[in-house]
Structure 1
Amino acid sequence: MAECKVIRGGAAFHGKQGMDYFAGISAESAGSAGICMHMLVLPPGGKARPHYHESHETAIFQLQGSTSFYHGPNLEFLDSVAQGDYVYIPAGVPHQPFNPTDQIARALIARTDPNEQESVVLLPDSASRL
């Protein structure tokens, strides 16, 4: 029988996307079968490599600060995200988040992939908008 788990102060890790996360719920930490949830800390001027998550959706809640992100097939769209905003990224949609401010940004990120890094597909660096 499955059991409930409390994950305290998840360990930090550097993702393929070039951003720093604090591990929360995942297949590795909790034995989850369909979801992962981590905290992202994006320093001032920080940015991710352009990427997408193959076959997995992403939901984000901006806890602190503000960020922006390019998205779309050619990263042609730009949106700003303020503290308290929610973001939905469909499976397979290229995106590139960044922090254009001089303040640390923190976000809670959940994906329908229990293995955080397995579905990350990096785009060529030439695709970067930054």
Structure 2
Amino acid sequence: MNSNHSDSTGHEHSHDHVHPETPAWKHNGVRVVPGNQLDSNTAQTPGMDRRAAINFARVGAQKLWAGTVTIHADAKTGAHHHGPLESVIYVIRGRARMRWGEHLEFTAEAGPGDFIYVPPYVPHQEINASATETLECVLCRSDGEAVAVNLDIEPVEKPDTVLWVDPTHPQGGV
């Protein structure tokens, strides 16, 4: 591939050569993981089915993990956290109810198109808020290996609802 650019003096330099240390992009470049080839051999939490698409073992990812999460109708996960990892959940289908806190005392809901952020070490529980529809999500974490620490937490009976409040939604929303 020919590539030319000018330096700060205006002189043009050609980059026609390939350095020996250049990675073999054919095998170390973009990877496509077909949706029907996700790996269920990953950290699991009771009540949830996680399947890895992108991780260290599958593609060599060093700084992230991505996959899918399915929670059956009217089901919930056990309480857990993900150690030092940050998590982002994108809801594809269904209604997610998140509970979090030392006694799962806070709650919020998210629907299709919504993103959920879970900070490191936050005890939480995902609940499918629908009695009839499967909850399907995409999950991304900030490390190439999955971490799931299952917790034995006695939840409060009625958690406090927390509105999503940010600069663009100062009045909050559920």
For normalisation by structure 1, the TM-score amounts to 0.88
Q: Residue 94 of structure 1 aligns with which residue?
A: 123
Q: Percent identity?
A: 24
**Aligned partner (choices 113, 127, 130) of residue 154 of structure 2:** 127
Quick check: 1:24 aligned with 2:50?
A: no
Q: Which has the higher strand share?
A: 1
Structure 2: runs of 5+ lacking an equivalent: 1-22, 158-174
**Aligned partner (choices 104, 107, 123) of residue 134 of structure 2:** 104
Q: Does the residue aligned with 1:29 lie in a helix, a strand or coil?
A: helix
1:107–1:73 Cα change, 3 Å: same
In the TM superposition, what are the counterparts of 1:79-90 in structure 2 within 5 Å? Answer: 79-90=108-119
Q: What amino acid sits opposite 1:113 in the alignment?
A: D
RMSD of equivalent CA atoms? 1.8
Which one has the largest radius of gyration?
2
Aligned pairs, number: 127
Structure 1: runs of 5+ lacking an equivalent: none
Q: 1 CA distance for matches of 2:76 and 2:94?
A: 14
Query: What per-residue deviation string (whole Å, max 9, x for no partner) do you get for residues 82-122 of structure 1?
Result: 11111101011010001121101111100002112xx2111
The one of the two structures with greater contact order (alpha-carbon pairs below 8 A, sep at least 6) is 1
In the TM superposition, what are the counterparts of 1:1-130 in structure 2 within 5 Å? Answer: 1=23, 2-9=28-35, 10-13=37-40, 15-18=43-46, 19-101=48-130, 102-116=132-146, 119-124=147-152, 126-128=153-155
Per-residue deviation, 1:12: 4.9
